[in-house]
Structure 1
């Protein structure tokens, strides 16, 4: 297939869970679609995915791989392993510039471009991200078997985690100079069952999830939780002029109930369109974005 001369009904940018789900809906409507994917799933650091019905505890890469195989089985689907670097309106649709394959054109765009986590700057944290340091208790809390859980504060949102996490284990909050809970918050955390609030600076993370403090203490945990800032993993939405809403962790693409963005003909789903999400939400978002894109092709 000559990509540069093919007129696609829709181009799906991002081939993780939301993008695959959108592509599946469009493929089943027998539309000619192209999926462009750079292989940078947000949860690529995690070994297993949890909370997704029928796939609870399965390797995250296997779920994505099975989804790709299902979508690729439809003969109207084309796939490019690469990145979309620019997109713009062009006639009755959009032209997308690719990093290695020239240009492609589609009548509709579905953005499933995801987000990038900006992690707290603590030595040893990044290499443990998704393995013993997490952000979502619903995704990873149960497997800690009600053991010791440390929260590494990055800002005042640590209070939110501290109130949630006692359902999953014995919680210590390390404020690390990034968060100063007031008396009311301290009382609420004590009532909720938080065991300790430690204001000693955190030097680094060692072993699996051992917090090393400035006073020399080494406190092991079953797992650690923290928040980072979220950034768009792709500039495409901004290039197209999509509007954003501001969430507690960063901006996300504004969409309506059909997952259409503020730019006509551009739909979006997944983590890039939510203040927070998981695999199940991404799949649901992608399905709606795919349906929305198809209906817009039918009804204009």
Structure 2
């Protein structure tokens, strides 16, 4: 049986989209590889009603609510391939099984490419962050380090003094012009040009000259890319953003390939749980409306077709 919609990705955006479709009594298949982007974080902040909750608990509760709807199918696994056209999509899962659907919604999230600083990746989501709105308050106005990756790091350094005293570590990846340096100085941001040797302890930066600086937390601007290459293989247009690469969509969250939609971190910036949920809810409604209007148009064409007279 063909599903009304196949959703690749069962994190916050994908589940929010599924909920809209399930409440419209549509058949929905969610294929989820189980790799939430914030799986390393102990708490999630800034999401109304769940501020300070365990993100795994939020996801588990959401899934349990979806599973109350009888038109949901859920596969714990990866989407290995996808092909087809509107009303006739096929998604192949990692076990080789093929699944048919009329619409395809991509919500796989993104991967994060981090600066190659020893000790940073192990602390990602725990004491090294990318979003001050998600994690800045808990640093309690303490010392904050920003590890440069490029121009977005300058934006972080300008914003983060709202949450504490900031030091920007250029680490050989960012050059400041005089105007930018003056702006940061006016905000009280210290500039550290010495390269970073490693990160130790909770959030201690050890510099190449042996100096050690302790921080309440560190921020860095990771580079993002879709967590899978399904969109690219389907022919969906991608676009560059200050944060990396994402899938281009229109206002209805439809990609450049008719019948293929995308939502969440893979299709918008900036990123947070709240924004992913909102984007997913909108995408789910738009997928549903595309089905409704297509069905209405098809019924109208059938009514207008002349009836064949049997001879």
Please indicate, yes or no, whether the TM-score normalized by the shorter chain is above 0.5.
Answer: yes
**Residue 288 of structure 2 corresponds to which residue in structure 1?**
294
Superposition map of 1:267-278 within 5 A: 267-278=261-272
Q: Per-residue displacement from partner, 1:76-99 (whole Å, max 9, x unpaired)?
A: 000000010111115732000110
Contact 2:87/2:259 (CA < 8 Å) preserved in 1? no
CA–CA distance in structure 1, aligned partners of residues 47 and 269 of structure 2? 19
Q: Point out where structure 1 has 5 or more consecutive residues left out of the alignment.
A: 1-5
Q: Tell me which residue corresponds to 2:56.
A: 61
| Gaps in structure 2 of 5+ consecutive residues | 295-311
Match of 1:174 among 159, 169, 176: 169
Partner SS for 2:151: coil
* Equivalent pair of 1:49/1:56 in contact (CA under 8 Å): yes
For residues 109-258 of structure 1, the aligned pairs below 5 Å read 109-194=104-189, 196-258=190-252
**Aligned residue among 236, 256, 261 for 1:262:** 256
Distance in 1 between residues matched to 2:210 and 2:137, nearest whole Å: 30
Q: Encode CA deviations 1:29-78: one digit per residue, 9 max, x unaligned.
A: 00011000010011111111111111111011111111111111100000
Q: Structure 2 length as normaliser, TM-score?
A: 0.93
Cα displacement string for residues 90-143 of structure 1 (whole angstroms, at most 9, x for unaligned residues): 573200011015100000011101100011100000000000000111110000
Mean CA deviation greater in 204-213 or 266-275:
266-275
Aligned to 2:93: 98
Greater Rg, structure 1 or structure 2?
2
Tell me whether 1:28 sits opposite 2:15 in the alignment.
Answer: no
CA distance in 2, matches of 1:113, 1:91: 20
> 2:69: which partner in 1?
74
Partner of 2:49, secondary structure, is coil
Cα RMSD of the aligned pairs, angstroms, is: 1.0
Provide the residue aligned with 2:35 in structure 1: 40
